[in-house]
Structure 1
Amino acid sequence: MPVTCFIRYQIDPFQRAAFVAYAEAWGRIIPRCGGALIGYFVPSEGTNDIAWGLIGFDSLAAYERYRATLRADAEGRANFERAQAQRFILREERTWLEGVAGTLNRAAEVTP
């Protein structure tokens, strides 16, 4: 994937289950709208209020098409609205990343 949208969430740690349900809904919505969902990640140990989502796109133009499709998606709008109503996301930051050639999906080399 040429570009990846890296989303850092500060979540209410007492509403972790609500965030998990929100992320699971994106598992259906994002691919349908044209994004390549890499995954959502919630705290397991350590800091209990930071979660991440990663979505890949072929280009920033593909992201813009995705956004337009997402705005028209009823389930996507409902998921955003639920997050706003329940307030389990306290803060959200987006960063755009490019993968470094030779490092993506690289398996361990086996020495004979």
Structure 2
Amino acid sequence: MITCFIRYEIDPFKTEAFETYARNWGQIIPRCGADLIGYYAPHEGSATTAFGIYNIEDLAAYETYRSRLRSTPEGQANYAFAKREDFIRREDRIFLRLASTPHA
């Protein structure tokens, strides 16, 4: 299992648009094959940093998942919404693996 961390730099005046985008992915991502942990919008501190986090089996499963996202009408609509509303300034993606176990 790997975890995808997406770091977004967003327009601080368009946080509500990002939250709509995040809620949309909250419905779409699980249907397309990833285990969504959640999307996180700014609350305190930086007004421009947001995150999306989900687990997926491996990079091959990730490629299949991304293909599903791009081919679903809901995924296409959410990508179009982000482009139209122009609230994402930058998006960085990193894949990590769990290196610890839960602490007792």
* TM-score band, normalised by shorter chain: over 0.9
Q: Which residue of 1 aligns with 2:31?
A: 32
C-alpha distance in 2, partners of 1:34/1:75?
14
Q: Which amino acid aligns with 1:46?
A: G
C-alpha distance in 2, partners of 1:99/1:84?
33
Work out which of the two has the higher radius of gyration on C-alpha atoms and give 1 or 2: 1
How many percent of aligned residue pairs carry the same amino acid? 49
C-alpha distance in 1, partners of 2:48/2:70?
27
Uncovered stretches (5+) of structure 2, i.e. residues with no partner = none
Aligned residue runs from structure 1 range 7-46, under 5 A: 7-46=6-45
C-alpha distance in 2, partners of 1:87/1:71?
19
What's the secondary structure of 1:40's corresponding residue?
strand
Query: TM-score normalized by structure 1?
Result: 0.89
Q: Which residue of 2 aligns with 1:69?
A: 68
Aligned residue runs from structure 1 range 78-97, under 5 A: 78-97=77-96
What's the secondary structure of 1:61's corresponding residue?
helix
Paired residues in the alignment total 104
Q: Which residue of 2 aligns with 1:100?
A: 99
Q: Which residue of 1 aligns with 2:56?
A: 57
- CA drift of 1:21 comes to 0.4
What's the secondary structure of 1:13's corresponding residue?
coil
Q: Which amino acid aligns with 1:8?
A: R
C-alpha distance in 1, partners of 2:2/2:36?
12
What's the secondary structure of 1:84's corresponding residue?
helix
Q: CA RMSD in A?
A: 1.0
Q: Which amino acid aligns with 2:87?
A: F
C-alpha distance in 1, partners of 2:40/2:7?
10
